[in-house]
Structure 1
Amino acid sequence: MSTAPTTPPTASEDSPLLISTEGAVRVLTLNRPQALNAFTTGLLGQLRVALDEAAHDGAVRAVLITGAGRAFCAGQDLSDPHIKPEFDEPGDPAPSADVHKKPKAKDIGNLLDHYYIPLALRLRSMPVPTVCAVNGVAAGAGANFALGCDLVLAGQSASFIQAFSKIGLVPDCGGTWLLTRLVGRARALQLALLGDKLPAAEAQAWGLIARCVADAELQSEAMATAQKLARMPTRALVQTREALDAAMDLEFEDALRLEARLQSQLGYAHDYLEGAAAFLTKRPPTFKDR
């Protein structure tokens, strides 16, 4: 654990996103506990800006994302005006109130184009490692946003739900790309088609997440993991992520040549020279590249 001072959250306690820093770790906390931290366009926008700021802050060497209260994120808030269906008469509680009143559809693709796609791309292109601490249910886009992080830790009471089929949609926020790569086609289809709850322990056994830990230890374990990553050679970690993702679609020889190109670049960088010197002189290294 870093001994650097911890900065308090930079937003008010009623903000949908709390931002703080502990040492070289930027902490982002989804903060709509009364709504199980469900995404709104406001929260999505703030989250993207916060990730951009962390990406451009040279003092940040890892990002930790978690949720306030008893959930990580219940997915998209269906009451958000950008997605909530409209009925013939504003204020109608539900279409079942009158069979003659029809809901007016909205183009959900616009929501993805303007909010979820930029957010998912920003998360996957972060120049520092990302850790997610899933402290409760992670459903729909909330689950896939969590899975887009580099390392996912979850408390024993946490669960993952691909809830899209329950409302007639397909997985988004990168879910169609992530699920098959993490657990294979058969299990990805099981999760996406049935929409059943997957407990954290089983998610670890399936390879969906890195680790399931006791609820009481989740935040400390996640912070310790983020702090460990922050002390490591950041640029090499990020290029390791990129190489592993790229290798999924490469022939073996092409993957070998990608490794050679990356090693050629990293071999001239400070962190390799520092790491090699520290190893040879039997001292702890001090990494700086980002």
Structure 2
Amino acid sequence: METVAVERNDGVVTVVMSRPEKKNAGSPTMWRELAQTFREIERRSDDRVMVLTGAGGDFCSGADLEALSGDALDYMKRASQAAEALSQLTIPTIAKVDGVAVGAGWNLALGCDLVVATDRARFSQIFIRRALSLDFGGSWLLPRVVGLQKAKEIAFFGEILSAAAASELGLVTRIVGPDELDDVVESMARRLVRAPAQALSLTKQLLDAAADGGSIEAALQRENHAQANNIVGADAAEARAAFMERREAVFYRADLHSATAPA
């Protein structure tokens, strides 16, 4: 691939947007390669956690409008395919953010389950300052976290937010120093890799479904089906055995997964 690098290490797949000369701005090629990468990850049973980040000290500066050629709607559809493929991942996803995450770049981060940012990271729904409206799922993602009125304020003014300001609004999970970013994200990813994969995936899906609204009755029905699947699964059997034997449960072994991983 030209604009995306993929690294795999014992259950953690790291996706690196790599256009550092453009602060990793999204081109049609990058949107296509991201969509392709996310879809491949969803198909692979050995990918248990995804980390999304950018090369060269920045996360993503949004869409590269200089790369726009031809039909604008076709360009936007390519970006939307990447956003949709990200949203369809059933494994935990972590955005590892340094430098700028603005426009579609911020919405890429918001599309992940967790956002870990350095204290020098900067965020903005910068669209209005470019005579544009929200894209890459921002109109759906932002109000789910901060509510409609605050989402409108953020979108209407397009101000640059520090990591601390974004964190106060619930838009950043954790803030760390630049020299801590790799280690903190690696530690979080490792904990998630060692967690029971099915229960973790179902938990993610239950929370996402509940965030869309609906009744507690509907949520309870979803929970019942999910829990019934967990109870009869191998991970629950391992958890019960570990409890009885007074040891730590083992839900993931890298040697077994690497032996059965698809090509």
TM-score (norm 1): 0.82
Deviation at 1:109, TM superposition (A): 3.1
Q: Would the aligned equivalents of 1:129 and 1:234 in 2 still touch at CA under 8 Å?
A: no
Residue matched to 1:208: 171
User: Would you say 1:47 and 2:10 are equivalent positions?
Assistant: no
Aligned residue in 1 for 2:16: 29
**Which structure has the greater CA radius of gyration?**
1
Give the distance between the partners of 2:55 and 2:99, measured in 1 at CA. Answer: 9
Give the gaps of 5 or more residues in structure 2: 258-263
1:271 is matched by which residue type in structure 2? D
Aligned length, in residue pairs: 253
| Residue 46 (structure 2) aligns with | 59
Mapping for residues 94-113 of structure 1, pairs under 5 Å: 106=71, 108-113=72-77
Asked whether the equivalents of residues 19 and 27 of structure 1 are also in contact (C-alpha less than 8 Å), the reply is: yes
One-letter amino acid matched to 2:53:
T
- The aligned counterpart of 2:188 is 225
Cα pair 2:61 2:105 within 8 Å, conserved: yes
Write the deviation string for residues 200-248 of structure 1: whole angstroms up to 9, x where unpaired: 1121121112111111111221121111111111222121121112112
State the match for 2:58 in structure 1. Answer: 71
Conserved 8 A contact 2:31-2:81? no
In 2, the alpha carbon distance for the partners of 1:129 and 1:246 equals 15
Cα contact 1:144–1:174 (8 A) shared by 2: yes
1:176 maps onto 2:161 in alignment: no
Hey, what's the Cα distance between the residues in 1 that align with 2:85 and 2:40? 11
4+ runs of 1 displaced by more than 4 Å? none
Structure 1 counterpart of 2:171, one-letter code = L
Alpha-carbon deviation of 1:25?
0.7
How far apart, in 2, do the equivalents of 1:171 and 1:279 lie? Answer: 49
Letter in 2 for 1:23: D
Q: Paired residue for 2:199, among 236, 245, 263?
A: 236
Q: Supply the RMSD in Å over aligned alpha carbons.
A: 1.8
Q: TM-score, normalised by structure 2?
A: 0.90
**Residue equivalent to 1:267:** 231
Bigger mean CA deviation after superposition, 40-49 or 271-280: 271-280
Letter in 1 for 2:94: V
CA contact (8 A) 1:138 1:158 kept: yes
Query: Counterpart of 2:133 in 1: which secondary structure?
Result: coil
* Cα pair 2:193 2:252 within 8 Å, conserved: no
Distance 2:159 2:93 in 1: 27
CA 1:195–1:60 in 2, change beyond 3 Å: closer, same or farther?
A: same
- Could you tell me which residue of structure 1 aligns to residue 4 of structure 2? 17
**Aligned counterpart in structure 1 of residue 155 of structure 2, from 174, 181, 192:** 192
**Per-residue deviation, residues 245-290 of structure 1 (Å, max 9, x unmatched):** 2112111222122211211122111112212222232212122599
| Contact residue 49 and residue 192 of structure 2 kept, 8 A | yes
Q: Which amino acid aligns with 1:69?
A: G
Local SS of the residue matching 2:171: coil
SS of residue in 1 equivalent to 2:8: strand
Structure 1: runs of 5 or more not aligned: 1-10, 84-105
Pairwise CA distance, 1:154: 0.5
Partner of 2:260: none
Query: What are the residue-to-residue correspondences of 1:86-165 with 2, within 5 Å?
Result: 106=71, 108-113=72-77, 115-165=78-128
2:240 is matched with which residue? 276
Whole-Å separation in 1 of the counterparts to 2:228 and 2:10: 31
Aligned to 1:87: none
- What is the Cα deviation at residue 81 of structure 1? 3.1
